[in-house]
Amino acid sequence: MDVLFLENLVINFLILYVTSIFSKVRVSSLRIAVGAAIGASYVAVLILLPGMKVYGTIIAKLLLSAGIIAITFTPEKLKSFLKVLAMFYVSSFIFAGAAFAFIYFNQSGGFVRNGIVYVFWRYKLTVLVLSLMMVGIVVKILIEIIQSRTKEKYLMPIKISFEDNVIELAALVDTGNSLHDPLTNMPVIIVEYLAIKDVLPADIQDIFKESKENDLDNISRVISNSKWFSRFRLIPFMSIGKDNGILIGFKPDYIEIGKDDEKKGVKDVVVGICNKTLSRNEGYRALLNPELV
């Protein structure tokens, strides 16, 4: 029983960890370990104790899965719960497929009891490690495919016009960007400073070069004497680790979103300048508010 428990504890921990990655819900390792221990205990008792067939039914297993997800991830909404539960089953199927592939090639024996498959492996540790390696490769490939397709779907070319200057760059439609100018309620596009600096006046560039975009006194002094005074905006925002952030924004002449026959011109918009890199590989340099698409 102890060996069976430990094996399932490791596998369940990894399944829940992968579930966390797929569902993008961060939880502590302790909570994952608790959920894994519950699942491992259930399997060990189900296989080794007689008269437990009722707990091996589909309904019982569904209830167990729901309980593990509720305890590990504590989703607040039904939609979030179902999403995490679905990712849990996807992760489980990936692990099961990898394990059965090696079982087949290794020609191992085993038995089925109460709906649970238990396998005898001559080189159990080796097969387990190989299975985990295969799962790691599959998960990595799936994540890269999903991320790349998601980005391609939501990447759009945009043009930003300031006076006689036009900046062209790629933007990601970011569903998490719900920023609006508090005075005019115009939607905000977040753009990297380095992508837009050439069209900014020298005094405005100095704010970002010296990393003083959070110094309100300095910003007020510079902006009050700038030719861009009428364009100036201050946009409050909240993000992880920063409850009261301020984004410097400017009103462009207009922006153009999309390409060819799908081009869309927008004037009622504010460009918020971010002094950080938005994409590691520079696949995009701006974040579009979904309202603009």
Domain boundaries, the chain: 2-122, 154-292
3-state class of 182 per DSSP?
coil
| Residue 105 and residue 121 in contact, taking contact as beta carbons nearer than 8 Å | no
pLDDT the model gives residue 114: 46
More confident residue, 18 or 214: 18
pLDDT the model gives residue 148: 57
- Mean pLDDT for 191-219 is 82
Instruction: Tell me the C-alpha distance between 235 and 211, whole Å.
Output: 17
**Catalytic site residue 164?**
no
More confident residue, 245 or 255: 255
- Mean pLDDT for 178-188 is 86
More confident residue, 168 or 130: 168
pLDDT the model gives residue 124: 55
CA 133 to centroid of chain Cα atoms: 23
pLDDT the model gives residue 34: 92
pLDDT the model gives residue 153: 55
Per-residue pLDDT of 101-123, as tens digits, reads 655 655 555 444 444 555 555 54
Instruction: Tell me the C-alpha distance between 87 and 94, whole Å.
Output: 11
Find the Cα–Cα–Cα–Cα dihedral 216, 219, 225, 229, rounded to 10°: -90
Residues 95-128 as b/e (b if ≥16 CB within 10 A, e otherwise) read beebbeebbeeeebeeeebbebeebebeeeeebb
pLDDT the model gives residue 191: 92
Sign of CA dihedral 51, 57, 62, 65: positive
- Mean pLDDT for 226-237 is 80
- Mean pLDDT for 73-92 is 87
Per-residue pLDDT of 1-59, as tens digits, reads 666 777 778 888 888 888 888 787 888 889 999 998 888 887 767 666 656 665 567 78
More confident residue, 184 or 148: 184
Instruction: Tell me the C-alpha distance between 225 and 229, whole Å.
Output: 7
Report residue 154's pLDDT band, with 50, 70 and 90 as the boundaries. confident
Point out which residues pair with 160 in neighbouring strands. Answer: 167, 255
pLDDT the model gives residue 128: 60
- Please choose, from the candidates 91, 89, 101, the residue with its C-alpha nearest in 3D space to the C-alpha of residue 127: 101
CA distances from 167 to 164, 174, 193 (A): 10, 20, 12
More confident residue, 38 or 124: 38
Burial class (CB in 10 A: 0-12, 13-18, 19+), 285: buried
Catalytic entry in 164, 174, 198, 268: 174
Q: Look up the pTM and report it.
A: 0.48
